[in-house]
Amino acid sequence: MGAIYVLWLRELRRYTRSRVQIVASLGQPLLYLFVMGFGLGAVFQQAGHGSYFQFVAPGIIAMTVLFTSTFSGIALLWDRQFGFLKETLVAPVSRFRIMLGRTCGAATVAMLQGMLVAIICFIAGFRPVNMAMLPLAFIFLMLIALVFAAMGTTIGASLKDMQGFQMVMNFIVMPIYFLSGAMFPLDNLPTALAVATQLDPLSYGVDALRAMLIGQAHFNVARDVVVLLVVAFALICLGAWRFSKIEA
């Protein structure tokens, strides 16, 4: 447990020391939040769905966690390229603990980033329907962060250069986000699109956040929990296997 804590703390310190990274990573979520949230508000309201800003805010929070946690895999490639990973791997600690510590650290960073966006949403006018559900929303935020931090670590352990990571991330992350229902309701979709959204793990995270924050859910909340837990477990196992094969 000591090794896991040290690696978790290292990832957290790396994030908190970089104020530029904190500010820059807020740019895209805020662009989506204010441009899309207010720009499409009138159209969404005319369609009889209420406030689009209320609808889209949980999706933007989930998007922030998705991007931050997944791109944490770049830090693994960075450490590998400059030799820092080799120093970690020669320590008398199992690689599973090393992988788990890095993943937990990346998930914590993603949660902090998501909470910053949530605070901005509150300042901009977003209001949860039930404040008592905020702790449960935080738990789902943690699950989303863990799922995609494990995915980022898995991909980072499978590649050897940053260029390849960026191409894979652009091919994977953007479809995951746009198919999650973060920007649009999942009701009455064409069959092919409906199937794609059900295969997207982020769909269940966004759905759970909406259920907790605005009282709207497309899936059953219990189903959201099961899917997120299963996917998190599967990705952690896959990441541990890929990390065990890595050569610094």
Residue 18, classed as helix, strand or coil, is: coil
Q: Please tell me the total count of domains within the chain.
A: 1
Q: Find out whether 104 and 188 touch, Cβ atoms under 8 Å.
A: no
Give CA 106 to chain center in angstroms.
10
> Model pTM?
0.86
Question: For 169-209, how does the pLDDT look when each residue is reduced to its tens digit (9 = 90+)?
Answer: 778 888 899 899 888 888 888 888 889 999 999 999 999 99
Q: Two tokens at 242?
A: 């890929």
Each residue of 108-159: pLDDT tens digit?
Answer: 888 888 888 999 888 888 889 888 889 999 999 999 999 999 998 888 888 7
Helices (H) and strands (E) in the chain, counts: 14, 0
pLDDT of residue 42: 66
Q: How many CA atoms lie within 13 A of 144 on its CB side?
A: 36
Q: What is the pLDDT of residue 144?
A: 94
Which residues touch 5 (CB under 8 Å, ≥6 apart)? Answer: 101
Q: Residue 184's closest CA among 85, 80, 40?
A: 40
- pLDDT tens digit string along 81-121? 766 666 666 666 777 887 888 888 888 888 888 888 999 88
Distance separating alpha carbons of residues 182 and 62, to the nearest angstrom:
8
Radius of gyration for the alpha carbons in the chain, expressed in angstroms and rounded: 18
Helices 162-178 & 73-81 angle (0-180, nearest 10): 180
126 lies in which domain range? 2-244
Structure tokens, 148? 């995609």
pLDDT at 1 > cutoff 80: no
Residue 30, pLDDT score: 77
Where do we find the tokens 């977003």? 126
**Positive or negative torsion for Cα 151, 15, 1, 146:** negative
